[in-house]
């Protein structure tokens, strides 16, 4: 065979019988057979833009999508439609700050196979928000614990954030959310938790837009266990506190509540923190220089505004007799604290999440957002605080 014949027979771009520009046609470019959205090498793709693979004719054979994020690769599950011409991911929203790699194999209407490889990267947000969760992960808490999320940024799309948080319990019980302002979201059941309940908080906040240009960072779970039931009722007029464990009266303890000029809040409060010893300074709660006690023993915080139940060694004759505090509830104690005193005895038998209810005080009911005071709202009032209608 001559060199001229060789050139004629093997010419790839010719118009003869074997030339693909002739009877068999020129092979189409992969991008003409396989359409991928977003476009190849797109940058700063927003999370609400849809990922779609399609062919105008023929069928998709295989679609593989990988998301690279935080130095890890994650397969992106999806499905080919019944007509074989489209592929969509199972989850609509794209992840932020990620690189997507798309590999596709398809056949056109003439049966010719094509493959396409594309990549794109998503928006890297300048601002993020996180949620600080109460109670702590794996804690054992009292039956009055309210799940409280405080966000690091103000949330304007509260419905989107609320939908991204799930609180579940075993055994199952209905829990509902309630917003306090723009940066706090609490969850509780209608009644106190039952002892032994296991509660899980799922934060699916990553890439959720909480405010314009501000996206969530967390994708994690927290859990806690509800311990025994302990509810204590402080009667400010009687100067007593009845401590009930699982409904049974455990003890009646003498107390001193707020003096007439500084009465204790009425209502249900929840133990938020427990400190063996702490300093209490009146200037931190806006009362001037009335007191500064560096070693208050057995202190249990009840409100954000500074209400505590604590040991009182400086007024040993007041508990059970007269109300002398600046709004706190005091139990008899000794300097340095002791387990043999009423304050020490109660502290040793308490959990974060226990309920302290004050009755017959001359003050108003504690605000539901002052500490974990949400139990002072009716169930209907509580449910009305949801952003999802």
Catalytic residues: 310, 328
CA dihedral of 383, 384, 385, 389, whole degrees rounded to 10: 100
Helix or strand or coil: residue 3? Answer: helix
DSSP 193-223: PPTT-EEEEEEE-TT-EEETTEEE--EEEEE
Residue 316 contacts by C-beta under 8 Å, 6 or more apart in sequence?
332
- Which of 264, 265, 245 is CA-nearest to residue 142? 245
Please say whether the dihedral angle defined by the alpha carbons of residues 185, 190, 194 and 197, taken in this order, is positive or negative. Answer: negative
Please say whether the dihedral angle defined by the alpha carbons of residues 273, 306, 188 and 252, taken in this order, is positive or negative. Answer: positive
Q: Residue 326 in contact with residue 287, Cβ under 8 Å?
A: yes
Element (H, E) at 243: strand 240-245
Measured distance CA(164)–CA(208) in Å, rounded: 8
Written in H, E and C, the secondary structure of 68-115 is EECCEEEECCEEECCCCCEEEECCCCCCCCCEEEEEEEEECCCCCEEE
Q: Residue 284 in contact with residue 278, Cβ under 8 Å?
A: no
Residue with tokens 């019988």, as numbered in its chain: 17
The first and second tokens of residue 158, run together, are 């509260």
Pairing of strands 184-189, 175-179: antiparallel
- Which of 319, 231, 326, 325 is CA-nearest to residue 271? 231
Report the alpha-carbon angle 222-346-273, nearest 5: 35
Measured distance CA(138)–CA(116) in Å, rounded: 48
Measured distance CA(112)–CA(266) in Å, rounded: 79
């Amino acid at each position: 065979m001559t060199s001229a014949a060789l050139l004629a027979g093997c010419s790839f771009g010719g118009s003869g019988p074997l030339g693909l520009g002739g009877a068999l046609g020129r092979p189409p470019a992969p991008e003409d057979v396989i359409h991928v959205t977003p476009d190849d090498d797109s940058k700063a793709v927003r999370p609400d833009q849809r990922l779609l693979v399609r062919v105008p004719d023929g069928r998709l054979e295989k679609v593989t999508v990988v998301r690279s994020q935080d130095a890890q690769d994650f397969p992106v599950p999806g499905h080919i439609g019944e007509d074989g011409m489209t592929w969509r991911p199972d989850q609509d929203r794209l992840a932020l700050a990620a690189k997507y790699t798309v590999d596709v194999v398809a056949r056109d209407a003439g049966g010719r196979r094509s493959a396409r490889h594309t990549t794109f990267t998503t928006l890297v947000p300048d601002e993020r928000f996180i949620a600080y969760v109460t109670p702590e992960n794996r804690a054992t808490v009292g039956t009055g614990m309210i799940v409280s999320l405080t966000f690091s940024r103000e949330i304007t799309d509260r419905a989107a954030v609320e939908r991204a948080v799930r609180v579940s319990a075993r055994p199952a019980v209905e829990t509902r959310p309630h917003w306090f302002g723009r940066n706090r979201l609490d969850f509780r059941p209608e009644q106190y938790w039952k002892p032994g309940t296991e509660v899980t908080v799922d934060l699916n906040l990553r890439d959720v837009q909480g405010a314009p240009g501000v996206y969530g960072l967390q994708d994690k779970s927290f859990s806690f266990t509800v311990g025994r039931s302990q509810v204590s009722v402080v009667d400010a007029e009687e100067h007593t506190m009845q401590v009930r464990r699982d409904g049974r009266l455990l003890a009646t303890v003498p107390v001193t509540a707020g003096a007439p000029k500084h009465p204790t809040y009425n209502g249900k409060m929840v133990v938020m923190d427990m400190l063996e010893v702490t300093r209490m300074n009146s200037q931190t709660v806006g009362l001037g220089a009335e007191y500064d006690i560096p070693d208050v023993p057995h202190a249990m915080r009840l409100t954000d505004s500074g209400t505590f139940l604590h040991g009182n060694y400086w007024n040993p004759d007041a508990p059970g007799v007269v109300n002398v505090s600046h709004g706190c509830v005091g139990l008899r104690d000794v300097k340095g604290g002791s387990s043999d005193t009423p304050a020490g005895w109660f502290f040793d038998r308490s959990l974060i999440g226990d309920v302290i209810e004050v009755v017959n005080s001359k003050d108003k009911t504690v605000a539901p957002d002052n500490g974990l005071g949400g139990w002072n709202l009716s169930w209907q009032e509580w449910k009305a605080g949801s952003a999802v209608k």
